[in-house]
Amino acid sequence: MAFLELKNVEKTFFSKDSLNEAIRNISFSVMEGEFISIIGPSGCGKTTLLSLISGLVLPTTGKILLDGKEIQRPSPETGYMLQQDYLFPWLTIEENITIGLKTMGNLTETTRKRALLLLKQLGLADHAAKYPNQLSGGMRQRAALVRMLSTGPKLLLLDEPFSALDYQTKLKLEDLVFSTIKEHKKTAILVTHDIGEALVMSDRVILLSHSPGSIQRIFSIPEELKALIPFAARNHSAYNKWFQEVWKELESLERKA
Amino acid sequence: MKEKHKQLHQQYVNNLTKQKRYVRLTQCSMLLFFFVFWEVAAALKWIDPLLFSSPSRVWELLLTRIQDGSIVTHTSVTLSETVAGFLLGTALGTVMAGFLWWSPFLSKVLDPYLVVLNSMPKVALGPMLIVGLGPGFTSIIAMGALISIVITTLVVYNAFKEVDENYLKVIRSFGATKRQAFFSVVFPASYPSIISTLKVNVGLSWVGVIVGEFLVSKQGLGYLIVYGFQVFNFTLVMLALLVIAVLATIMYQFVELLEKKLIRRHHT
């Protein structure tokens, strides 16, 4: 059975003098442990789709099922990571990474230790007592990753988490996030505008078409690329061929628009 | 090379200290000049000493008033009224802002009333307060609070509204209730605005309390000013003014200290 299932999901936003159909008729399912990327031209409703899956926004019509249950509100099963770290500047890193546990009423000595261990695994052990503004962009995004993982969600929603970083940091963090997610056997959905990033991180890539967003095509990434960590995958001979393929599809969409 | 850098850095630091010292020196000499000029002008009758008094007379009066203890009583009355009015105004204004944030319906309904109340001169309500709360320190504290409460509500409510939506998204993704979202995100994120209203409120509550004392009291610095004016004792008026200036400055410094403690991490 699918872990996450979207059935004919549509979302329309209303305002006083207009209505905006963000996404139309989206159906797909994700297996447990799968890594899915969603790409598409800007404004195609990628982030809306992620907000819907997170339960922060409810669909106008259609259903989203997580583990067989319909999503009505944010659940502890899902974790959300944003474009920028959005660490709370008035809290220390330790307080930041445990705020999810605290909010859920789950902050015990055991869970706190687990969060700190995670922080250590991501190389931030020495920074627990520091404040976000004392850390570099890459370190902050790693702390945000720990914050998301600390509550033990099964489904991770990543909303362009690398887009605000410099290229080198971005490549390193891709590897780190990839291996952390694989190690913890999490299911993940990544929204990105970077074709390369989508190709090297995921098992399947969903390409959305422009307003209203609907599924244009789904690419299944071959085993040989899936098995590699992102940095190695970027250097694989098959990478370029796939890149061209997705690129052409995206171009044809833009021409239509 | 390293030695040279060290030297340059030392020079830079020295320059900074020197500049700071010049600023302080100028500030002090301006103050000194003011008092000396005032004294000389009064002694040489450039200004009417009956109206403007002179530093030496104010000083003498201060000493006698300290000896008979009366200045201490008046000062502590006014100071406690001001601090009470200030805390009450800020706290109630912030709570009010919290309610407005909580209920968009309430905020829409109250919007025109707040605008009217804000543009209304609160001291004009003084007589009503005295009729309602009695001619005592309750009315005076109410005056000190009333004058800052509406503006606090408006400014803090705006700060609550302008908290970055993404911070809320983070906390909501953990399933936070509205209450949790408010206390762990909206409120702490608004510390800088709350502090800046505190700074404004320090001045406002002094206005409220002094005007309140003008209207009713038998004690306090505002009372001394009115009394001194009525019996034509301007030395007493000047003394009260100087005490107010010193106290208001101390209170402001206190808020600045609080600011440093609370929001030193707020700049990302």
- State ipTM: 0.87
Q: Which positions in chain A touch B259 (Cβ < 8 Å)?
A: none
Which helix (H) or strand (E) segment holds residue B112: the answer is helix B104-119
The torsion defined by the Cα of A205, A207, A212 and A214, in degrees rounded to 10, comes to -70
Beta bridge partners, A208, equal A215
Could you give the CA distance from residue A21 to residue A143 in angstroms, rounded to a whole number?
Answer: 35
B265/A100 CB distance under 8 A? no
Could you give the CA distance from residue B174 to residue B89 in angstroms, rounded to a whole number?
Answer: 35
Which residue does chain A place closest to B183, by CA atoms? A103
Q: Which positions in chain A touch B266 (Cβ < 8 Å)?
A: 89-90
| Domains of chain A: residue spans and CATH | 32-59+71-77+154-257 (3.40.50.300), 88-152 (no CATH)
Contact A178, A212 (CB under 8 A): no
Q: Where in chain A does DSSP place strands (E)? A: 4-15, 18-30, 35-39, 61-66, 69-70, 78-81, 155-159, 187-191, 204-208, 215-220
Residue to mutate among A57, A103, A191, with most B CBs inside 10 A, is A103
A99/B188 CB distance under 8 A? no
Which residue does chain B place closest to A73, by CA atoms? B175
DSSP helix/strand/coil, A7: strand
Q: How do the pLDDT tens digits run along chain B, 268 residues long? A: 678 889 999 999 999 999 999 999 999 999 999 999 999 999 998 988 888 889 999 999 999 999 998 899 999 999 999 999 999 999 999 999 999 999 999 999 999 999 999 998 888 888 888 899 988 889 999 999 999 999 999 999 999 999 999 999 999 999 899 999 999 999 999 998 888 898 889 999 999 999 999 988 788 999 999 999 999 899 999 999 999 999 999 999 999 998 888 777 665 4
CA-wise closest residue to A65 among A79, A48, A77, A82 = A77
Which residue does chain B place closest to A75, by CA atoms? B175
Residues 226-265 of B with CB under 8 A from A: 263, 265
Residue to mutate among B163, B172, B173, B267, with most A CBs inside 10 A, is B173
Amino acid identity of B222? G
B191/A90 CB distance under 8 A? yes
